[in-house]
Chains A and B, each alone.
Chain A
Amino acid sequence: MTNINGKAYAMNAITPMKPWKTPLLKLFFLVLGAVKPLQKDLKNLSFIHFARWVCIGRNAFPRLSDEQPTEELKYDYLLFISNFNGTWNQYIDAFSAVLYKGLDAIWLWSEKYPGSRPVTAFKRYISFVQFDTDYYYNAYPHSATNDVKAAIRVQSAFTKFAQTSQSLSPADFQEAWLSFQAAVSPDLGATGIAPIGT
């Protein structure tokens, strides 16, 4: 069981909501999904792979067989799943520092949510509602998303350079090589082991 694999961290949190609040949150998600500028801040946090929120109705839990006791749940649930690079503290600090309005709009409907600022109460809340990851597969443990995206840019620039430089004179090749190097120069960070989590 681990929440950490290489440079990535998997976070899952489940929070209960009073059922009358769920449609309001779903309406907000509808707006959030349609109005792209509202997603801008989340997407600009480059160390986040993705963040997903899902409403799970109290009647949506499966009853797998007749032997499973019937349950009558009083709450709907909000499931939050996110993968990111960096430490748990860094992630929550960033959420609280720059995404607090959006987060509050999403989690406000959950029971006992303290707000994302001040951050200490928010961290305490997350640590209560977080569920550890049972199994976590990571195809590139030595790479952060920034590293992968940079590698894709370098690869496509290189392919293009290879195609366009075949018939250049030595002098032109030198110039084209310089331009290629300049274009990829922001994307040459090394991959490797992440600093230890704190």
Chain B
Amino acid sequence: MTRIDVSDIQGFALRGYNFPYARYLLLELAPAKQARALLRKLLNVVTTGERWDINNKPQSTVNVAFTHKGLEQLALPLASLLSFPLEFQQGMRARSDILGDSGTNAPERWDPVWREQYVHAWLAVNARTAEALEARSREMQQFIDETGGARLLQSQDAGAIRLHGKFSTSEHFGYTDGFGNPDFKGAERDCVPGQGKLTKRGEWEALATGEFLLGYADEAGELPVSPIPHLLGRNGTFMVYRKLHQNVNTFRAYLDAKGKHYQGGKEKLAAKFVGRWRDGTPLELSPDMADPTIVADPNQNTNFTYGEDPAGIRCPLGAHIRRTHPRDAFGFNGGLVNRRRIMRRGLAYGEYVPEGQPVSDSDERGIIFMALNASIFRQFEFVQQQWIEYGNDARLGNDKDLLLGNHEGKGKFVVQGTADHANPPFICGALPNFVELRGGDYFFLPSLTALAMIATGTVDPR
């Protein structure tokens, strides 16, 4: 059994808090002396991975992460700065060619805060209530004012979408989101079927800790690439932050138009796009209709494989969840997939507009996509480059992921099918960009120990 030091790990790295309110403060740090003073204030309030007392759960949480530019500003020793993985040193803007972030997704088109400035730190507040969010945000601003440690470049709000008066896990296109996060050894819950990795016997077990936290063995049996000294990296992880704008009007119009011609109907086509019905029912488990009992059961809602559906008859080969978490789809019991997993911590931003009401593409609306992984290069960048913007592993040539692909009006999506009229093959052509990248960067989410070292200027690369 793997034990991890939960009191040294930021809570955000271990679990999604499932709080409905969030605010991400994007900071430019002051010179090291003042910035360190701010970090010393934060040290006392950063939320760790320790379990919460059931009678005394916090109303809000605080987490912090830094870009490489931010660590430079904090005057880490050069030897440490240069020991970080190359992609993190470069930052996401410089990786746009590798990621396929071109055209409407190119850095020149990003929001000014990501295009013109360098965000040094991401200070995240998650909260149970709007009041708690405001209270904690005020405290953060007070820390900033008292120490002069940073300048607030932008405050990005995000949160759960309210449906029928209740908070949901829905996103703006109407899909229930947030099912498939990988389990890893040492995290608090047992492995949920479908969430870790497949064994040879076809069972599911947790992934190696080192796929998601630095300082622990990974799936290859070695320690992930980590900055020096060892204590700077251990119990930390890397975070990818992408502001993904959703063209909701374009999506709804496209689905309506294609849905009219698809014999399975509009909702089935929507399910084929993603691999889940919009309520979350996996197509592999229920190809003909949504089934709330499956969605409600954690032992079922991610518990499936693609081995019995090699031609994509139930779930298309290019469906979003099949591309991004292929399970056994490439054979070898998922052996080619286990080192390409990411932990998602996304939340919607912008006002939700119910189906049937007029909606504009240009309103601020989308997902703040955050992914955690031990190696941005091997995990997030691989998924983005090879599985979203390309299709060879899924045997789909250059076809891109329907939802996230940078199609520029030229993409296509094939729904595999049979001669059965209820499930015929269907081609969706002239794909527009349903999602556009509006900015983001690569962050390092340090452990509490590392944060203390950074805050006191005692990082010693030896």
Binding site for B on A (CB under 8 A): 7, 41, 44, 46-47, 85-86, 89-90, 93-94, 96-98, 117-120, 143-144, 146-147, 150, 175, 178-179, 181-182, 185-196, 198
Contacts and interface: CB of A to CB of B under 8 A. Distances in A.
Contact of B220 (A119, A144, A182, A196): A119
25 contacts: A90-B386, A94-B336, A97-B220, A97-B336, A97-B339, A117-B220, A118-B221, A119-B222, A120-B220, A143-B397, A146-B392, A179-B419, A181-B425, A182-B419, A185-B414, A185-B425, A186-B395, A188-B414, A188-B427, A189-B391, A190-B412, A195-B100, A195-B389, A196-B97, A198-B98
B419 to A, nearest CB: 4
Contacts of A194: 390, 392
Contact of B417 (A89, A185, A189): A185
Contacts of A150: 395, 397
A184 B406 CA distance: 25
Interface in B347-392: 377-378, 381-382, 385-386, 389-392
B415 interface: yes
Contacts of A46: 330, 395
B425 A195 contact: no
A98 B220 contact: no
B385 A195 contact: yes
Contact of B396 (A44, A143, A189, A196): A189
B398 A186 contact: no
B397 A147 contact: yes
Given A93-B378, A190-B412, A195-B386, 20 more contacts: A46-B395, A85-B392, A86-B386, A86-B393, A89-B378, A93-B339, A97-B336, A117-B220, A118-B221, A175-B419, A178-B419, A182-B424, A185-B311, A185-B414, A186-B317, A189-B391, A189-B395, A189-B397, A190-B398, A198-B385
A117 B220 CA distance: 7
Residues of B in contact with A, size category = 35 or more
Contacts of A185: 311-312, 414-417, 425
Contact of B416 (A119, A186, A191): A186
A178 B425 CA distance: 8
Contacts of B169: none
A112 B16 CA distance: 45
Nearest to A120: B222
A17 B183 CA distance: 43
Contacts of A143: 397
Contact of A44 (B331, B385, B416): B331
B392 A86 contact: yes
A149 B389 CA distance: 21
Contacts of A96: 220
A141 to B, nearest CB: 13
B154 interface: no
Nearest to B384: A195
A145 B277 CA distance: 33
B418 A97 contact: no
A190 B431 CA distance: 13
A98 B395 contact: no
A86 to B, nearest CB: 7
A175 B414 CA distance: 19
A98 B197 CA distance: 14
Contacts of B416: 182, 185-186
A38 B399 CA distance: 33
A22 to B, nearest CB: 30
Interface string B122-137: 0000000000000000
Contacts of B397: 143-144, 146-147, 150, 189-192
